[in-house]
Structure 1
Amino acid sequence: MANGLIYGVLLDGEGGGKTLDWTGVKSWKPEKGELWLHLDYSVYEVKEWLFHESALDVSVAETLLSSESRPRFSLLDSGVLMAWRGVNLNPDAERDDMVAIRMWREEGRLITTLQRDLMSINEVVNALAKGRGPKTIGELLVDMADKMVWKIGELVDGFDEDMSELESRVIENVNFSLKSELSVLRREVISLRRYIGPQREALMRFSVEKLNWLEQNDRILLREVVDRVTRALEELEVLRERASVTQEELQNRISEELNNRMYVLSIITAIFLPLGFLTGLLGINVGGIPGADNPSAFRYFLLGLVIIIVLQLILFKWRKWF
């Protein structure tokens, strides 16, 4: 791994393969069998090999070493160049932070490059180690696409569960923190959809191209993969709409809650406004205040305030203000 060669497998055509190191890779000839090279493009030895020893066109080598790549399918004279995105299941990874993998398929050889670990690739390697993996390069590519799309579907199902939970919480209780949670989920859905759309187009192009190294069974499975990624894309679109509707509903409920609070404050203000006026008026320090010499004046004043409050409540109730 330190030299950039993550996996080097010479397929045996029976579902297994022989593991090769750099020495075996450099001595490989097409007549020895189909070879799959899985490389870390950030390692210097990989860059040197791709540019100077792989016999690849410079533009192909540059694409395999690109740090940013949009899902694509390009049929060239000497082979097929593809780029896909897989779910990032590495520790502490963001759900919408997908891992890019670039692929070059030519006669007898498949070269794939990435920088971060991708669980779908590891599953293919484990199957090859047990002798139950793909038998050809074409089957290997379809198997990789199938496992990536399954992981995408599981991620979309997780988004759907989170969305259902947020919808329930919005209905049950108005919480200002829900607004930020909805915004995060909506951002994740939009970000994932930005990758899945081009990936569907790339897989669809892959499934319809007349490639002589792709068997009929592989084409059938690839069409199923395209159908699944299409459904995932449609579910993402529905999730985005649900998030928008839920966010609007939450905003309406928050506004309603604030209006209710303002209404209560307005009622309280309306009740105490005349009381405050009277107490302020009688509290001025000048001569001639009514009842200043009467020891019972304060009790009469309090009784008058109570009567005013009762009359106000009766008036508010009659006007149906509460």
Structure 2
Amino acid sequence: MTQRLPLVRQKPDFSDDVSGLIYGYQFFNGREPQSLTVQQSCEAWNSQSSAEDSFLWLHVNLNHAAAARWLQTHFAVDEEFFDEIQRGSHSTRIERQNDALMAVLNDVIFDARESGEETATLWIWCRAGLVVSARFKPVRLVERLQQKLIAMDLRSPTELLAQLLAEQEDVLGLIVRQSNQYVDQIEERLLGQHIKSNRAELGRLRRTLLRFQRLLAPEPAALFRLINRPPGWLNPSVVQDLRQFTEEFTVVLNDLNGLTERIRLLQEEVAAQQLEQSNRTLFTLTLITVLALPINLVAGFFGMNVGGIPLSGNPHGFVLLVMLVMVFSCAAAWLVLRRREPR
């Protein structure tokens, strides 16, 4: 006889997969960062309240429903941070949120020769001893930074935030360099046979760069407010680093503005060449029409089936008509060409 065993309800572990934790690190001054699990992150945060020489970095996946609740419960992350994420704000900025810093960064995959691009947004919440970064889609900024953590020797949460800002600045600088090279190639082809395609490519590239400028450029008002009224725990040296970051990003944005202006001038040049080519084609068609007009008129008159047609009995009538048509055609061509000559 088979004995039916009672079903045992298995309780899910409070693991990285449940909480949405992707990376967890604890940083110490002068030591390599230590990788943490969910349980270790909670224990490290509870034990470092009095330690000022360490901080935590938690990178979470917001596609997990428990991620926000876990951060609010164990690390006292402001609810306003998650409200900002729910509003879907994607413009790059860094600003003060209560006694913490809130930053929005963006990463893009860009190819100047392709029409499609992929974007991903990273939301960051930073306070003394803790950095929380959250995303829905994978962000290459974090992946590149995670590979360089050991060599960086980060000492504070704001240094980590500054590194992420520098990574986004590098992304925008790379986009400008790739676009410059691509525009150089189009500029060299302007005298070729691809005026129409060049104009379409320039228009697509200009629209893409304007979109990236709107997406990647930090909001100056929020940044200036943070620099003028930083939180009390923010080190003055970090404020100076933010000022330097603002200046460097301004240089990159100036290069981007110069590139978009250059693309606009190339578009105007391509449009002028296309208009000139259309004018030449239209003039050729007009000249052919004018030269064919005497032939059509003479053929129309002499093709009428009526009496009294001149030269009908003259043996040299055909030659005379041909000479008459040639005279009128040459006179019409002379008039057209004479009007086309610049005065």
Match of 1:281 in 2: 301
Aligned-pair distance for 1:53?
4.3
Does residue 1:116 correspond to 2:137, yes or no?
A: yes
Contact 2:103 2:124 in 1 (8 A): yes
Contact 1:109 1:137 in 2 (8 A): yes
Aligned-pair distance for 1:110?
0.8
User: What is the one-letter code of the residue matched to 1:135?
Assistant: R
Aligned-pair distance for 1:204?
5.0
Match of 2:78 in 1: 57
2:73 and 2:115 mapped to 1: Cα distance?
34
1:178 and 1:229 mapped to 2: Cα distance?
30
**CA RMSD across the alignment:** 3.1
Aligned-pair distance for 1:195?
2.7
User: What is the one-letter code of the residue matched to 2:71?
Assistant: L
2:226 and 2:325 mapped to 1: Cα distance?
84
Contact 1:72 1:82 in 2 (8 A): yes
Does residue 1:25 correspond to 2:41, yes or no?
A: yes
Match of 2:51 in 1: none
Aligned-pair distance for 1:168?
3.7
Within 5 A, what are the aligned runs for 1:168-183? 168-170=188-190, 175-183=195-203
Q: How many residues were matched structurally?
A: 319
Contact 1:38 1:113 in 2 (8 A): yes
User: What is the one-letter code of the residue matched to 1:5?
Assistant: L
1:265 and 1:89 mapped to 2: Cα distance?
44
Does residue 1:146 correspond to 2:132, yes or no?
A: no
Comparing 233-242 with 140-149, greater Cα deviation is found at 233-242
Contact 1:65 1:113 in 2 (8 A): no
1:295 and 1:45 mapped to 2: Cα distance?
106
The secondary structure found in structure 2 opposite 1:113 is strand
Pair 1:206–1:120, CA change in 2 (3 A):
farther
Identical counterparts, % of pairs: 22
Does residue 1:250 correspond to 2:270, yes or no?
A: yes
Write the deviation string for residues 180-205 of structure 1: whole angstroms up to 9, x where unpaired. 21221121121122134434555555
The secondary structure found in structure 1 opposite 2:218 is helix
Runs of 4+ in 1 over 6 A off after TM superposition: none
Q: Which runs of 5+ in 2 are unaligned?
A: 1-15, 49-53
Does residue 1:14 correspond to 2:34, yes or no?
A: no
**Normalization by structure 2: what TM-score?**
0.80
Within 5 A, what are the aligned runs for 1:1-322? 2-3=17-18, 4-14=20-30, 16-32=32-48, 33-64=54-85, 66-88=87-109, 94-95=116-117, 97-128=118-149, 130-170=150-190, 175-207=195-227, 209-211=229-231, 214-215=234-235, 218-294=238-314, 296-316=316-336, 321=341
